[in-house]
Copies of this chain bind each other. A is one copy, B any other.
Amino acid sequence: MLDFWLEYASTYSYPAAERISALARAAGATVRWRPFLLGPIFQTQGWTTSPFNIYPQKGQYMWRDLARTCESLGLPFRRPDPFPQNSVLAARVALIGFTDGWGEAFSRAVYRAEFAEGRNIGDTAVIADLLGALHLDAASVIERAQAPENKMRLRGETEQARDLGIFGAPSFVAPDGELFWGNDRLEAALDWAKR
């Protein structure tokens, strides 16, 4: 069992979400998807936006590196505008989805919309459209997602991420608490989880 901590505004969570299921199957590992929010964790470091915006040279490099990574994986890529996007509704909806069994498909649809199709996942109409494409009742799902107990649930997940030492996304946590950060560490995390 490996916990996959994902943030819907996070660039490298996109290739990780595309890669993890096939790699986990090949490794014979079970993966639990754990949506959370990086914003509150960044805020405790004094950041009010993505570090890629705060440090322009690093940001410029990241976009190039992400484009190369997607190209090498055969994934479509278009730089999102705005960046970062508001991922709160996507994360709340995803929690409902992982309870109901469509969380993975929804997650991949969110990343494709954001990082390949030039859409803004902070727009409720976009999330509703993605839900509709999964043959779900968007209005009813969004209502459950915005209910106070679901908001609290996401807050709890984010607090747990912070308690695990998570400071970026994607992150992977093995049952013994071993932490791996970044799409580049997915294989190592699966290896560790199998030990």
Contact = CB atoms under 8 A, between A and B. Distances in A.
A15 to B, nearest CB: 14
B68 A188 contact: yes
A140 B58 CA distance: 39
Interface string A36-58: 00000000010000000001011
Contacts of A184: 184
B167 A57 contact: yes
- Which bucket holds chain A's interface residue count? 10 to 19
B68 A167 contact: no
Given A45-B55, A55-B45, A55-B167, A61 B179 contact: yes
- Copies of this polypeptide in the complex: 2
A165 B61 CA distance: 8
A75 to B, nearest CB: 16
Contacts of A188: 68, 72
A181 interface: yes
A65 interface: yes
Contacts of A185: 65
